[in-house]
Amino acid sequence: MLAVGEYVLGDLDPRMARMPTAFAGGVGNTEQEMCGALNGGVMIIGALYGRTSLEESDLPALRLATRYREQFAVEIGATRCGTVRERTHAQGGLGSCALVVERAAQILLELLDE
């Protein structure tokens, strides 16, 4: 959210900036769930294309989120935090989660530009 949010959403309400914090480390640093970098991007997709009523279609957000997740999985090698961390810190991996966040932001921006 912090890496891309202000760029595509403008000034972020401090609550919006705080919302994804607990997703870090695969929800509460448990490494059991989806990578926090991927979660942050999905939240931005929702902020941009999500619906505000049941009468609206959620397909634009769902389709873009699907594409984002798929591209993330291809480039990072996984979507689950624990697996992402293992691959990131393995020999030949990106080396740090900060670089995963950077690449996740780039993937999102590339998809938003299409």
**pTM, rounded to two decimals:** 0.88
Collapsing DSSP to helix, strand or coil, 112 comes out as: helix
Torsion angles phi and psi, residue 2, rounded to 5: -70, -30
pLDDT by residue, tens only, the chain of 114 residues: 777 887 888 888 888 888 888 988 999 999 999 999 999 999 999 999 999 999 999 999 999 999 999 999 999 999 999 999 999 989 888 888 999 999 999 999 999 999
Q: Total domain count for the chain?
A: 1
Angle, in degrees to the nearest 10, between helices 59-76 and 97-113: 140
Domain limits for position 93: 5-113
**pLDDT of 73:** 98
37 touches 104 (CB < 8 A): yes
Angle, in degrees to the nearest 10, between helices 97-113 and 81-89: 110
Structure tokens belonging to residue 101 = 């966040």
